[in-house]
Amino acid sequence: MPATVKVIRVAIVEDQPRVSESLRMLLTSIPGFEVVGIHSDGETALQKLPAQSPDVVLMDIGLPGMSGIDCVRNLKELLPALPVLMLTVYDEGEFLFNSLKAGANGYILKRTTGDKLVESIHEALLGGVPLTRQMAGKVAGYFQKMGSANSELAGLSKRERETLALLAEGCRYKEIADRLGIAIETVREYVRNTYRKLHVTSRTEAVVKYLNK
């Protein structure tokens, strides 16, 4: 019997019906995707998403009431491992930075093509942080205004830098261990040390600082 293909369950938090319906039609037209919920505000999303068990959430920023950024922050307290991708019209560095700081796993503009959106969803599910080079540059510029991360990165060992670079590529711990020829527990130690030295608590925050190197 052929192996069962895991369906990717997507939830959408978007207050514009035209946009949410367009996203639903796009994703349901692709084999292996299912839209399990559409919510027009952050408060409703926080109530219903835990029971809907999505694999990934597409989150607008400009929601009525609670902003998408605040929704991500609260959602991450409920479901810390759930990947959330911001899908927005805003490309300013401050929105990017604050979204990632809140716990978002990536940042995509609404004008992004369908193929790129699907690619970004897959990347986030593999542990990556979907950002265009232009967006990464904007985040880096915002970091520079807030205080450069270069001095913190300089405090990493060679192996810690290599581990961080592979984290930024979306590699899992086993892949990192295989590529560096070390044990998984050693990878975990490098990651713990990296988080401590960079004063971060998540892969996303660490990768954002790496992008500013």
Collapsing DSSP states into helix, strand and coil, what is residue 180? helix
* Tens-digit pLDDT profile for residues 43-73: 999 999 999 999 999 999 999 999 999 999 9
3 state SS of 129: coil
pLDDT of residue 151: 61
The domain tally of the chain equals: 2
Domain of residue 128: give its range: 8-142
Instruction: Quote the pLDDT of residue 139.
Output: 62
Residue that finishes a domain, picked among 111, 142, 173 = 142
* Buried b or exposed e, range 26-64, using 16+ CB within 10 angstroms: ebeeeeebebbbbbbbbebbbeebeeeebbbbbbbbebe
Query: Among residues 65, 64, 52, 139, which one has the least CA distance to residue 101?
Result: 139
Looking at residue 143, its pLDDT comes to 54
Strands 8-13 and 84-88: unpaired
CB 211 within 8 A of CB 167: no
- Are 133 and 173 part of one and the same domain? no
Which pLDDT does position 198 carry in this prediction?
77
In a domain? residue 38: yes
pLDDT digits (tens, 9 = 90+) for 187-204: 888 888 887 787 776 666
Instruction: Say which CATH number the domain at 48 has.
Output: 3.40.50.2300
> What span, in angstroms and rounded, lies between the C-alpha atoms of 157 and 159?
5
Task: Say yes or no: 107 and 23 in one domain.
Answer: yes
Boundary (domain end) residue, out of 87, 114, 142: 142
Structure confidence at residue 4 (pLDDT): 57
How far from 167 is each of 78, 92, 125, 147, 206, CA to CA, in Å? 24, 25, 13, 23, 9
Is 3 contained in some domain? no
Q: Of 94, 109, 142, which one is at a domain's C-terminal end?
A: 142
Q: Which residues of the chain have pLDDT under 50?
A: 1-2, 148
CA distance 23 to 168: 27
State the Cα–Cα distance between residues 21 and 80, nearest whole angstrom.
27
| Strand ranges for the chain from DSSP E | 8-13, 33-39, 56-59, 84-88, 106-109
